[in-house]
Structure formats: structure tokens, C-alpha cells
Structure 1
Amino acid sequence: MAKSLRSKWKRKMRAEKRKKNAPKELARLKQALNLDKKGEDAMAEVQEIATVVPADKIKKQTDVEMGEVEADDGKMEMDSKRNKKTLLDENGQYPAWMSQRQAKKLKTKRMAKKSGQAKKKKGISW
């Protein structure tokens, strides 16, 4: 694919655009990385306004907070109790994420087990 004349032309023009915009992008990148003199002046102004905290301190602080959170059992609180085998809750309802087809399949399996024999499916028998 992508061998048509139109796509070749588009690729060529994009390459030319990249060449044309490369110096501007480089200047913007240098300014963003504070390699340019103007960027250093702006950083000095920011330091006067706000306190700059090293990343190490922040990481240590978050590690301590995470330790406090892990002190819990780490279990989610469940509103309803669900049977793991049938996926039914105490009201006999299937979970919201389950499709009707899947719920019906589980119900027929459960009823077949209860009665001893499976209900015959409708359809064409060959």
C-alpha cells in the first residue's frame, strides 16, 4: 500500500516541511530545556516565587505515604456477597458486566445440575 503518486507527494512535502521547521524546533527545544539564556532567567524568577523541592525528597515522602496505605488489609470493600461459582449475589442477581446470553447459559447449567438432566436446546438437529 501507500505507493500512489499522491502519497509519495505527501511524504515528500512532509519531509521538506520538517527541514524548514527544524531550526525553529531546535530553538524551542533548547528554550524548554533551559539551555538558552532566556530560559535560565525565567527559571530564576520561578525560584523566587515558589520553593523548589528536589525529587529525592518527594519520592521518600510518597514512599512513606504508600507504606501507611498498605497497612490496611489491601482488600476492596464489596457491597454485596457473591457466590464465586454461580456469580449470583444474595438477591439472585448476576453482575452488571455480564451479558444476558452468558447469564442465561449459567442459569441453564445450574438448572440442569439441580434437576439431573439438561433441558433440550431448540434448533435444527441434523
Structure 2
Amino acid sequence: MAKSLRSKWKRKMRAEKRKKNAPKELARLKQALGLDKKGEAVMADVEEIATVVPAAKIKKQTDVEMGEGEGDGDEGKMDMDSKRNKATLLDENGQYPVWMNQRQAKKLKGKRMAKKGGQGKKKKKGISW
């Protein structure tokens, strides 16, 4: 759509405005981050606000925590849909999952009925000759 002369002109002017305002914006960002003249953040100020922990220590700690859960087996699993049949996707009440649309549900039901036998076939409406 946006191919008219007016939109092209506006796009061009926005690009020029971005070029013009880029140095001011960069200075504002540096000031907001509290960067020094050298371009490095003052860690003393950051440590007052938050606790600074090296990434390696955090990764090591999470690995140890994950290792403890292996004894139980299903500690990491979510058991929300544990009562759902994997083949038909039906739960104990015969309901499909909420994310499944009606078309998919109808298709699965058709397959289920065909496998069960000829019981699921509907009679065609109208006059049969």
C-alpha cells in the first residue's frame, strides 16, 4: 500500500530526522545508563542497587540444582495433562484440549469412529435413488 508520493516523502523525512537526532539520543542513553567518560559503567553504583554475581557461579548453581531432581524422575515434568490419552488427545471427561479447533476435533473423531467400526457413519440427508 504505502507507495504514494506522500508516504515516500514522509518516510524520507523520518529517516533524516533519525539521522539528525541520533547523536542526542545516544548521549541521552549513555546518561541514563550512567556511563563514565571512558564508556564504562561505574560498578560501585550498580552494586548499591543490585547484587552482582558472576555468570559462571549462577550456571554452576543451576546445574547442581538440576542434578538433585534426577532421583525423583518426574520432578521436571508438568503433570497438567497427565490424564489425557496420547492417541486421541481426549481427557478423562472426553474433552479435547482448549487449543484444538473444531475441524481437528471432528477429524480425530472421524478416525476414532472409523477404527471402532461402522457405527460412526452418518446417514446422508436427502433422497437416495
Distance of aligned partners of 1:61 and 1:85 in 2 relative to their CA distance in 1, 3 Å threshold = closer
| Cα offset, 1:18, TM superposition | 0.9
Distance 2:51 2:59 in 1: 17
Distance 1:117 1:54 in 2: 63
| Cα offset, 1:23, TM superposition | 1.0
TM-score, normalization by structure 2: 0.61
User: In the alignment, which residue of structure 1 is the partner of 2:35?
Assistant: 34
Q: Cα deviation per residue 1:49-90 (whole Å; 9 max; x = unaligned)?
A: 654222221121122223334444244325663444444444
Aligned partners of 2:96 and 2:105 also within 8 Å: no
Distance 2:81 2:66 in 1: 25
Distance 2:115 2:125 in 1: 15
Q: What is the RMSD of the two structures over their aligned residues, measured on CA atoms? A: 3.9
In the alignment, structure 2 segments of 5+ residues that lack a partner are: none
The answer to whether residue 122 in structure 2 is matched with residue 122 in structure 1 is no
Aligned partners of 1:108 and 1:118 also within 8 Å: no
The answer to whether residue 24 in structure 2 is matched with residue 24 in structure 1 is yes
User: In the alignment, which residue of structure 2 is the partner of 1:110?
Assistant: 113
TM-score, normalization by structure 1: 0.62
| Cα offset, 1:7, TM superposition | 0.9
Distance 1:7 1:66 in 2: 55
Distance 1:86 1:29 in 2: 54
User: In the alignment, which residue of structure 2 is the partner of 1:14?
Assistant: 14
Aligned residues: 123
Secondary structure of 1:34's partner? coil
Residue type at the aligned position of 2:116: K
In the alignment, structure 1 segments of 5+ residues that lack a partner are: none
